[in-house]
Amino acid sequence: MNIATADVRAPQRSAIVELGSASSVNGGLDPLDTWRSMLADGWDIVDQFERAGKRYWVAQAPELPSRARRLTGRERVVADGVARGHSNKLIAWELGLSCSTVAVYVKRASHKLGARSRLELICLFALL
């Protein structure tokens, strides 16, 4: 890492350490679930460092096409399940959601992408 890169990352690292020391950083979510969600969304690890015996990882969200930016992370994960040919019931089981919640995410993703059917959703999601 060159000096210019180190200078740019120093404020970011300080902010991450402060955020990590806050009492309700992730709202009580399991950190492993958070990482799984980030990996499913295609995040990239761009930096790692240690401070005071703790290891920190810095991840960056992937650049998405403009249509995909309109989808929430959960809508993208559900739409990906649909694109893989999974039923709402299987997607619900995989994500620990109810079938009706998955149906809502499918409907929202379809609406945002302009799909009028499940097949159209699969085709449009594949183009992202």
pTM for the full model? 0.49
pLDDT of residue 19: 59
Domain end position, chosen among 11, 45, 60: 60
Widest CA span in the chain: 53
- The total of structural domains in the chain comes to 2
Domain end position, chosen among 19, 41, 60: 60
The answer on 71 and 95 residing in a single domain is yes
Domain around 53: 3-60
pLDDT of residue 114: 86
pLDDT of residue 67: 57
Classify residue 60 as exposed, middle or buried by CB count within 10 Å of its CB (0-12, 13-18, 19+). exposed
The answer on 117 and 90 residing in a single domain is yes
The answer on 89 and 48 residing in a single domain is no
The answer on 74 and 48 residing in a single domain is no
pLDDT of residue 127: 77
Q: Which residue has the tokens 């620990």?
A: 96
Question: Which residues make Cβ contacts (< 8 Å) with residue 5, sequence separation at least 6?
Answer: none
CATH code: domain of residue 76: 1.10.10.10
pLDDT of residue 23: 40
Per-residue pLDDT tens digits of the chain, which is 128 residues long:
555 555 667 776 676 666 565 444 445 556 667 667 777 767 777 777 788 888 777 777 666 555 556 888 899 999 999 999 999 999 999 999 999 999 999 999 999 888 899 998 888 888 77
pLDDT of residue 6: 56
